[in-house]
Amino acid sequence: MLAYIVRRILYAIPILIGVNVITFALFFAVNTPNDVARMQLGVKRVTPQAIEEWKREHGYDKPLFYNAARSGLARLTDTIFFQKSVRLFAFDFGRSDSGRDIGADIRQRMWPSLAIAVPVFIVGLLTNITMALLIVFFRATYLEVSAVVLTVVMMSISSLFYIIAGQFLIGKLMHLVPISGYSGGLSAFKFLVLPVAVGVISGIGSGTRWYRTIFLEEFGKDYVRTARAKGLSELRVLFRHVLKNGMVPILTGAVVILPLLFTGNLILESFFGIPGLGSYTIDAIQGQDFAIVRSMVFLGSVFYIVGLLLTDISYTLVDPRIRLR
């Protein structure tokens, strides 16, 4: 088990290097370091000296991938790519192109992101499982048919519609909660209710359908027939047997998104004006702040890989037949 985890972590390193190569290539195919400097310095103070100065300060005064002027290994290490990437691996994000401390920003903005993503995740999971159980319990009735149609309909509505309709109905017409914004502490609650509700509702359609197929698959298995043959009531079969066994694929499937909750929800955060990591990323994209984008991509990849690892581990925990080698 331990050997497996260590091997997986080592395997992550080439993936992260690959991710960095792609982000660098994409970004610098668009902007040369000179462009970046010019943008950050603004229109007024742009002189060739100022640009050189800025590039030296921020470490952009080297070749991108290959330094022909040096010799030996330094040809590869004395480049923008190497210098900037190595620090990322130590989770030292450095300063953004506009001079802010990215590490501090991320630590500060992580909490609003989590404050949205965690409730959406938990409430969403509970709602979807309950709905799916109800649908499965009432299977082969008109209730099931209409519920299934309802999930398809809900799935076909754009998430933007849920956001806009929610803001308009609850925020503007009924004045129950503020339309957007955020504040720390307990008063955050009234800012979070609406985004969380919208996040949960927009996920009901696809989530419920997915869990329904899982439960239906369980219903076809032999142990269900055995349980019924023993004379167990349908409710008992559902909760004691099907739910328990169905939770295995559901939970292992949910584990993979757990780490990604940290990076926040781009759309919800920017629509509701919540200062989390999602809106941080969007702002950085629009301001073309490469240092932030690079850090967020790196962070996202790390979390993704951690999620895959957690999935594998959770499989062994819930199903002892699976051994990791």
Partner 1 sequence: MVKPVFLWTDTLLYVLVAAVAVLVWYVRRHEHLRAPWREVFRNRMGVAAMVVLAAYVTVGLLDSVHFRLPLESSAAGGERYSGQVLSVLDLLLTPLRTHQEETYSAPLATRLYSKETVRLPDGRDVRIYPRLRFGGAQLRDPARDRLPDIERTILRGVGFALLVWGALAAVVILVLARRHRWAPRAALQRVLAGRTDYPVHVALYTAGALILFASVTGHLAVHYHVFGTDKVGQDVFYETLKSIRTGLVIGTLTTLVMLPLAIVLGITAGYFRSWVDDVIQYIYTTLNSIPGVLLIVGAILMLEVYMANHPGDFQTVIARADLRLLFLCIILGITSWTGLCRLLRGEALKLRELDYVQAAQAFGVGHTKILARHILPNVMHIVLITVVLDFSGLVLAEAVLTYVGVGVDPTTYSWGNMINGARLELARDPVVWWSLAAAFLFMFGLVLSANLFADAVRDAFDPRAGGGRRGG
DSSP characters over 150-216? HHHHHHHS-HHHHHHHHIIIIIIIS--S-SS---SSTTHHHHHHHHHHHHHHHHHHHHHHHHHHHHH
Min dist. Cβ of residue 7 to partner 1 (A) = 13
- Verify binding: residue 286, partner 1, rule CB under 8 A: yes
- Verify binding: residue 18, partner 1, rule CB under 8 A: yes
Q: Which span sits near partner 1 by CB under 8 A: 103-111, 125-133, 151-159, 221-229?
A: 151-159
Query: Which H or E run includes 62?
Result: none
**Residues in 19-78 at the binding interface with partner 1, rule: CB under 8 A:** 19, 22-23, 26-27, 29-31
Listed in sequence order, the residues at least 6 apart from 35 whose beta carbon sits closer than 8 Å to its beta carbon are none
- Verify binding: residue 140, partner 1, rule CB under 8 A: no
Q: Which is nearer to partner 1, 67 or 218 (CB)?
A: 218
Token couple for 297:
């991509």
Q: Which is nearer to partner 1, 48 or 220 (CB)?
A: 220
Q: State the first-to-last Cα distance of the chain, in angstroms, to the nearest integer.
A: 7
According to DSSP, the residues that pair with 101 across neighbouring strands are: 95
- Single out the residue of 1, 76, 153, 317 in contact with partner 1 (rule: CB under 8 A): 153
- Alpha-carbon distance 98 to 283, whole Å? 12
**Residues in 186-205 at the binding interface with partner 1, rule: CB under 8 A:** 205
Chain center to CA of 98: 25
Q: Which is nearer to partner 1, 96 or 270 (CB)?
A: 270
Token couple for 277:
């990591």
- Verify binding: residue 127, partner 1, rule CB under 8 A: no
- Single out the residue of 6, 285, 317, 322 in contact with partner 1 (rule: CB under 8 A): 285
Min dist. Cβ of residue 208 to partner 1 (A) = 11
- Single out the residue of 86, 164, 317, 322 in contact with partner 1 (rule: CB under 8 A): 164
Burial of residue 137 (number of CB atoms within 10 Å: 0-12, 13-18, 19+): middle
Q: Assess contact for 26 and 290: CB atoms under 8 A.
A: no
Q: Which is nearer to partner 1, 19 or 120 (CB)?
A: 19
Of 257, 145, 144, 135, nearest to 199 by C-alpha is: 257
- Verify binding: residue 174, partner 1, rule CB under 8 A: no
Q: Which is nearer to partner 1, 152 or 317 (CB)?
A: 152
- Alpha-carbon distance 198 to 119, whole Å? 11
Write the Ramachandran bin of 197: left for phi over 0, alpha for psi from -120 to 50, otherwise beta: alpha
Q: Which span sits near partner 1 by CB under 8 A: 88-96, 129-137, 232-240, 285-293?
A: 285-293
- Single out the residue of 150, 155, 254, 257 in contact with partner 1 (rule: CB under 8 A): 155
Query: Which H or E run includes 303?
Result: helix 290-318
- Verify binding: residue 297, partner 1, rule CB under 8 A: yes
List residues binding partner 1 (CB under 8 A): 14-15, 18-19, 22-23, 26-27, 29-31, 152-153, 155-161, 164, 167-168, 172, 205-206, 209-210, 213, 216-217, 263, 266-267, 270, 281-282, 285-286, 288, 293, 296-297, 300-301, 304-305
